[in-house]
Amino acid sequence: MTAEIIDGKAFALSLRERVGEVAAAFEAKAGRKAGLAVVLVGEDPASQVYVRSKGKATLAANMLSFEHKLPVDTAEADLLALVEKLNNDPSVDGILVQLPLPSHVDEQTVIAAISPDKDVDGFHVTNAGRLAVGQEGFVPCTPLGCIMLLTDRLGDLSGLDAVVVGRSNIVGKPMAQLLVQQNATVTLAHSRTKNLPEVVRRADIVIAAVGRAEMVKADWLKPGATVIDVGINRLPPADGAEKGKLVGDVAFAEASEVAGAITPVPGGVGPMTIAVLLRNTLVAAHRNEGIAMPDGAL
């Protein structure tokens, strides 16, 4: 048996196209475009690439992109002042402060300063609380993208046994909450879980988000399980290669012989993150203007 490949790249492209259509309709109703502000502190190369790609994707989706690039030695107080300015700017619907921040800036303080109604990353404690009790709020982009891929592949998740490996605030915990909302039976596993392979082996759905290259092996999986690999790890370079290969948290080649469906790395969950960020920004714009979102559009 060879697993079906879950094509996150194609799904994300379709979502971005739908976002663009709804964004155009929003502009016609509101008399303005939806706007996303991205703040980058310092010159981390990976963060620069992310910010650039987010800016291009925002413009391509009929929305405004506001980029704020600050020097690495920017004082925390100055960053907080910028966040407050963006909170009060009616042309900005979503605010994203690119992480990680320099060591002299407290990430939690900055995240807490973002208005929960503009927190399109879904990291604010208010939005985490809203998710926990089932209220409307913003959900972190990666786990929401995973749920979209799962429901597209499986339909109703009710009663399915799901194991999330990894308990981060950005992926693992919100992922578990979303699966519970979908009526799955959820285990949130982690590095200290006893008999982890056995726990994973009973799952119909496996979400690997632990940050360890190829940790989840084929013999950890129930035959036919659906596997969502959130990990992005770079292996050491092979002989003569400039860069090592990108792999996920799942040993893809061997897992593909057991799983029923699996996301590849790259090309699986990764493209979904920016697509969902655009979707969240558009949802924020509709809420900010008091305009109803079209039913079932996103």
Active-site residue numbers? 54, 98, 121
Q: Whole-angstrom Cα distance, residue 276 to residue 280?
A: 6
Number of H helices, E strands in the chain: 10, 11
> Could you tell me the strand order of the sheet in which 94-97 lies?
64-70, 35-41, 94-97
Q: Whole-angstrom Cα distance, residue 206 to residue 260?
A: 11
User: Is the N-terminal amide bond of 264 cis, ω within 30° of 0?
Assistant: no
Q: Which residue has the tokens 């749920």?
A: 147
Instruction: Give the CB-side neighbour count of residue 88, counting CA atoms within 13 A.
Output: 5
Q: Which of 130, 124, 162 is nearest to 146 (CA)?
A: 162
Instruction: Give the relative orientation of helices 172-181 and 125-133 as an angle to the nearest 10 degrees.
Output: 30
3-state secondary structure of 10: helix
User: What's phi and psi for 240, nearest 5 deg?
Assistant: 80, -10
Q: Which residue has the tokens 């992480």?
A: 99
Burial of 180 (0-12, 13-18, 19+ CB in 10 A): middle
Six token digits for residue 64: 């405004």
